[in-house]
């Protein structure tokens, strides 16, 4: 089982590539076939597969097979989890002090 830090790193990895951000933008309007993503992004199938594996491993995208193609969509639960991770990391806890330079 992955640690919290490991899972959080997967989520951030999903967002740190221009192609993956483009994929997410395309998926915002709903489910897309891999063939449509390939066409819109003008990339090789192996490149798309690499990016989709990262997005799916992070839990922000889900895929379903239909014939020889996979159809991808944003996973609402994974999306919410990614948003919550970002909220937690960026929430300042003003009660804690490091004990330095008093």
**Mean pLDDT, rounded, for 61-86:** 96
Say what the pTM is: 0.86
CATH class for domain 4-85?
A: mainly alpha
Copy the structure tokens of residue 31: 């489910």
Is residue 79 over pLDDT 90?
A: yes
The Cβ of residue 15 has, within 10 Å, a number of other Cβ atoms equal to 15
Where along the chain do its domains lie?
4-85
3-state secondary structure at position 91? coil
| pLDDT tens digits along 18-35 | 999 999 999 999 999 999
DSSP letter at 100 equals: -
Copy the structure tokens of residue 11: 């989520």
- The per-residue b/e assignment along 63-94, b for 16 or more CB within 10 angstroms, e otherwise, is beeeeeebbbebbeebeebbeeeeeeeeeeee
């Amino acid at each position: 089982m992955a640690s919290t830090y490991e899972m959080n790193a997967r989520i951030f990895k999903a967002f740190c590539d221009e192609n993956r951000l483009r994929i997410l933008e395309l998926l915002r309007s709903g489910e897309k076939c891999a063939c449509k993503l390939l066409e819109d992004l003008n990339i090789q199938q192996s490149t798309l597969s690499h990016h989709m594996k990262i997005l799916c491993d992070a839990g922000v995208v889900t895929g379903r097979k239909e014939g020889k193609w996979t159809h991808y969509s944003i996973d609402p639960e994974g999306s919410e989890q990614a948003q919550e991770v970002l909220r937690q990391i960026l929430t300042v806890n003003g009660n804690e002090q490091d004990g330095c330079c008093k």
